[in-house]
Amino acid sequence: MTDDEVQPPTRRPGGRTARVRAQVLDAVRAELAERGYDGLTVEGVAARAGVHRTTVHRRWRDIGGLLADVLDAAGEDDWRSPDTGSLHGDLVALNREIQDALTVRPSLMEALVAASFRSAPAARAQRQLWEDRYTRCADIVDRAVRRGELPERTDARRLLVAATAPVYHELLLLRSDPDPELPERAAAGAVAAARAGVFAQGRQM
């Protein structure tokens, strides 16, 4: 079976199987953060997790399956979007979370983004994770509309992309040094555009 054919496990059993899964995925995160995609091996993951490599091969098959399940597991958490009482405050808080995740060393988020370009299963799982996160973050826009901060029919996805994109661009693409003011600046620009109706549903850009 090739990397492209590997699918993340879909069954979520409890007991010992769940404990083994947690141990293995924790090991993947640690190995990926420390060694990067090129240094990630089934043998290294198995050793760190304290399980036999055949256990890993049997359940996940290869690195692609492991990475896909790490991203799949991220969508099972109870994370919720920030709720500070204002659109600007929520977006600043969200951007700070993103910046922290990208600048902590070692950065698991950064490593997973890089790995998604090398593994088709990981790329698919990451797209699903982004979809999940955007869906959860839509609450930020819904609350702002209810408070009267934004026009009705504001497109949540477009607003969220505009608010967070500068953080990803500076840190992932330009490799800039962390800027403590960036989360606020990016949020402020998106808020101003949203209030002007730039992100109204149906509006052509």
pLDDT tens track for 33-59: 899 888 999 999 999 999 999 999 999
High-pLDDT (> 90) share of the chain, % = 75
Rg (CA), the chain: 19
Round to whole Å and give the CA distance between 18 and 16: 5
Which own/partner contact pairs does 111-117 have at CB distance under 8 Å and 24+ positions apart?
A: 111/32, 111/33, 111/36, 111/37, 112/32, 112/67, 112/70, 112/71, 113/172, 114/36, 114/37, 115/32, 115/37, 115/40, 115/67, 116/67
* End-to-end CA, the chain: 43
Q: How confident is the model at residue 6 (pLDDT cuts 50, 70, 90)?
A: very low
Round to whole Å and give the CA distance between 120 and 16: 29
Mean pLDDT, residues 132-138: 96
Mean pLDDT, residues 194-200: 96
pLDDT at 91 over 50: yes
